[in-house]
Every structure is written in structure tokens, then in C-alpha cells.
Amino acid sequence: MASDKKIRIGINGFGRIGRLVARVALQRNDVELVAVNDPFITTDYMTYMFKYDTVHGQWKHFDVKVKDSKTLLFGEKPVTVFGIRNPEEIPWGEVGADYVVESTGVFTDKDKAAAHLKGGAKKVVISAPSKDAPMFVVGVNEKEYKPELDIVSNASCTTNCLAPLAKVYFDLYPCDIFIYCCFHLYYKFAFFLMKLLNLNFVQVINDRFGIVEGLMTTVHAITGLSFGYITS
């Protein structure tokens, strides 16, 4: 890639994953964040949640503030903000977003994610397991990516943690069955419960911290692992 050629990205869904993608993009010289879409939160809320992260800490690189209801300023860099529910209507092409990170957790199959292409995007990366989009995990099978693939999945957070370790094990000791335990926060469950009880005053605290508890349940990551690695 030429030194002056940047990957221009847009983010659909400014939740946990979307904000972390933005943090990484804003610290890279080869990536430019041009737009964010989220119809459910205000620019003030976006700014607060971006600046203060429980795990990664407070953002210290440059000031982040609201310019207006449709623009965030990251230092002197303006980033367009949309609040559109239908992905077909998001004008990615108008702001020059060639790549879209689909991080809502809703549009996870190819047909739904393809709506971003109608808005002008050239490629879509789904930040969740997909039932029909090719899934790639860096360090496991990213070399199988082909340029003609317009919609891909980066699998799940759990798959990205487990698959590299599983690859090392499988390469040394091939096996048919692989069993693992996953410890995961259930902050989304708590969020929906509090919304049901109209406890909106704790929304910001809950979104940042979650609830440090454990639940035994099944996770979608096993699908990401079986399709993303074992069959590759």
C-alpha cells in the first residue's frame, strides 16, 4: 500500500466493538475514520462512551468533542455521524467510506450486510459470527482471504481468543472433539432488565462496566470456531 493511501472506513453501530474499532483506527496512519452510524445514541453519549473505557482506560491522545448533532471532532478531524436505521439508506459513498465495519450485531448474514454496498461501500466486515459470510481470524486462516470477497466476518470475540490457541493444539495433536469453557459478562442481559424496569439512570454506568458475574450458557462462538477453523 502506498504511504499516502489510506483505508477509509465507516462504522455501523457505535457500541463496544464499534468504539474499539474507532480507537484503533484513530491511532493508525493508514486508516481514516470518516463516519459513524448509530440511530439509538446521541453524539454526546458517543463522546462520553468513547473517552472513558473501563478496560482500556481514558482516551489520552487528543480531545474528543461534539461539533454538532451530525459531527464529532477527534482532535481537528471531523467525523460524520448518521442516525439511520436502514443500512441501505446510509450514504457511505457520499463521505467516502470504502470499508464498513458492521458492528451492530444485527446485520450478520450476507444479504443483510450487503445493504451497505447499496449505500456506496465497497467492502463490509461483520464483527460477529455469520451463517453464510466467510469468516477469518488473524493468525488462523486470514491467508485464505481473496480480494473478490466483498463481505466477510471477523467471527466473534470469543472465537478470536480461542481459535489461535486451538490452532496450535490442533497442529500438534489432531483431534475430533474440542471442549472448552467460556467465562463471559452478561452485561447485555442486565441492560435489558434495567430497561424493562425503567432504571434508565444507570444506563451509562452499566454500558461501561457491565456486571462482574458468570453464567453457564451456550455461546455463538462455537459456530464461529467450527466454520472458521476446523473446516479450513
What's the mean pLDDT in 13-29? 94
The pLDDT, as a whole number, for residue 189 is 46
- The residue that leads in pLDDT, 230 or 54, is 54
Which one is predicted more confidently, 150 or 159?
A: 150
What is the average per-residue pLDDT within 118-128?
Answer: 96
Among the listed residues 157, 161, 175, 181, the single catalytic one is 157
Q: What is the pLDDT of residue 205?
A: 45
Q: Which domains does the chain have, with CATH numbers?
A: 7-128 (3.40.50.720), 156-232 (no CATH)
Of 28, 13, 120, the closest CA to residue 74 belongs to: 28
CA atoms of 110 and 89, how far apart (whole Å): 17
Q: Read off the pLDDT of residues 92-121 as tens digits, 9 standing for 90 and up.
A: 999 999 999 999 999 999 999 999 999 999
Q: What is the pLDDT of residue 185?
A: 59
Residue 175 annotated as catalytic: no
Given this model, what pLDDT does residue 225 score? 52
pTM of the complete model: 0.78
Separation in Å, CA 204 to CA 51, 59, 73, 208: 13, 17, 21, 6
State the pLDDT at residue 174: 82
Question: Cα(123)–Cα(10) distance, rounded to whole angstroms?
Answer: 10
Residue 173: per-residue pLDDT: 86
What grid cell was written down for 147?
480480494
What CA–CA distance (Å, rounded) separates 49 from 15?
A: 9
